[in-house]
Amino acid sequence: MTVLANSYGTADGVAVRCGQYVNDTTGLFTTTTHPTKAQVETFINQMSGIMNTSLSKAGFTIPLSQADAVQSVTGIVEEYTADMVLATGFQGRFYSAQFQASGMNRMSFIAKEIDEWVTSAAIGLENMGAARVTIGGADSLQAGVISLDFVDHNETVY
């Protein structure tokens, strides 16, 4: 597996976050580490897919291309990937007594946290220049799930 074009981060970026799982000599994931480099890249692609789903729901064009926004998202994706690496060794927050007692699925939990992060970071990402599409374009007003279009339906605007 390789990191896909729409993904954020690298196996090397994850390696610095969970050093006990990397090759002792190189400090990197390899074909003989547990997890392997290919497995870590699969995790990166999965976390990036969850991130892109959340970014897309918030109206962002994916993958992000603005440098600062990409760096921000890369850090988040690599951290969640490191969580998944730790989980392969039955370590980390997903193996805490509290998380185990919650009965929650790891991927669902990560998706929820990423949604929350995107919601809190959306205006900042947009202000940095990340491409974001408003629903209905500039002539519409969006409030939650209601979209009012004053141009296409000849409504009177006061």
* pLDDT of 135 strictly over 70: no
Going by C-beta distance under 8 Å and a sequence separation of 6 or more, which residues neighbour residue 156? none
Full-prediction pTM beyond 0.95?
no
- 58-72 mean pLDDT: 97
Interior/surface letters 106-117, b for 16+ CB within 10 angstroms, e for the rest: beebbbeebbeb
Residue 115's identity, in one-letter code, is D
From start to end of 1-158, where are the E strands?
Answer: 140-143, 146-149
Distance CA 52, CA 70 (A): 12
- 59-71 mean pLDDT: 97
Reported as a single tens digit per residue, the pLDDT across 75-98 is 999 999 999 999 999 999 999 899
